[in-house]
Amino acid sequence: MKPIIAPSILSANFGHLEQDFEMLNRSESDWIHVDIMDGVFVPNISFGFPVLKHVARMTDKPLDVHLMIVQPEKFINEVKALGTKVMNVHYECCPHLHRVVQQIREAGMEPGVTINPSTPVSMLQDIIEELYVVQVMSVNPGFGGQKFIPHSVEKVRQLRDLISQTNAKALIEVDGGVNLSTGARLVEAGADVLVAGNAIFAAPDPELAIHQLKNL
């Protein structure tokens, strides 16, 4: 099965965003990955809802919104208003994760949970059956263009095992340092969704880079 490709617009050119979206809309990309950062959970701030309201109108592709913020449950309505398909919250930000997952579903979105590089896959054992997607961070969240952490491949294998041992149907998504070489290793280990920022937007031909990721 070909992976779902989710370009991260964190690496897009916000000075000429329409051009980048024309490319994304033409391309073989499946979802659009939107990184929201609060400067508290992660040491960076990206963009907020007043900006994203306009950005979301530039595409009909499903939005995969990755919230790198504390208390993400406060913004369920705002995320929903963007037309979001997948609302991805961090395990590390949600002491009442089960409740947040239910709230995301009740709002009509698909729940995703993201784990940091230092969070073991086993922490998801009691929630995995409730999830549409699990996202493995393969860099420490906060910035695009970082180096892939090789242990992430092993975490994808562990997740694949956990999913097959339960009734879970969760997709496995990987975010950070994904390129043609790390992408191939991740798909081989069982990844379903590849997020890529730098490997797409810094490529000489971003549309070709998406095609190559889709056809690893």
Residues binding ligand DX5 (CB under 6 A) = 8, 10-11, 33, 35, 66, 139, 141-146, 175-178, 195-199
CA dist., res. 177 & res. 195, Å (int): 9
Q: Which of the choices Zn ion, ligand DX5, none does residue 144 contact, using the CB cut-off of 5 to 8 A by kind? A: ligand DX5
Our finding on whether 64 is near Zn ion (CB under 5 A) is: no
- Shortest distance in whole angstroms from residue 201 CB to Zn ion: 14
Give how far Cα 53 sits from Cα of 47, 101, 170, Å: 11, 23, 28
Quick one: how far is CA 72 from the chain centroid?
Answer: 15
Give me the least distance between CB of 10 and ligand DX5, in Å please. Answer: 4
Q: Which of 35, 38, 64, 192 is catalytic?
A: 35
**Annotated catalytic residue 161:** no
- Using the structure block, give the residue that is written with the tokens 């990844």: 191
| Pairwise CA distance, residues 187 & 170, whole Å | 15
175 binds Zn ion, rule: CB under 5 A: yes
CB closer to ligand DX5, 11 vs 29: 11
| Contact of residue 197 among Zn ion, ligand DX5, none (CB under 5-8 Å per partner type) | ligand DX5
Q: What angle do CA 131, 212, 33 make, to 5 degrees?
A: 35
Residue type, 18: E
Q: Which does 72 bind (CB under 5 to 8 A by kind): ligand DX5, Zn ion, none?
A: none
Q: How far is the CB of 33 from ligand DX5 (least distance, A)?
A: 6
Of ligand DX5, Zn ion, none, which one sits near residue 178, judging by CB under 5 to 8 A according to partner kind? ligand DX5
Question: Choosing from 30, 38, 64, 175, which is the catalytic residue?
Answer: 175
CB of 99 to Zn ion, least distance (A): 23
Q: Clarify whether 20 is annotated catalytic.
A: no
Q: How far is the CB of 153 from Zn ion (least distance, A)?
A: 18
**Phi/psi of residue 44, nearest 5 degrees:** -160, 160
For residue 73, the one-letter residue type is E
Strands in 4-7's sheet, in edge-to-edge order, are 4-7, 193-196, 171-175, 133-137, 110-115, 86-90, 63-68, 32-37
CA distance 198 to 195: 10
**35 near Zn ion (CB under 5 A):** yes
Task: Report yes or no: 164 and 186 within 8 Å, Cβ to Cβ.
Answer: no
Contact in structure between 24 and 60 (CB atoms under 8 Å): no
Q: Which residues are catalytic?
A: 35, 175
Contacts with Zn ion by CB under 5 A lie at 35, 66, 175
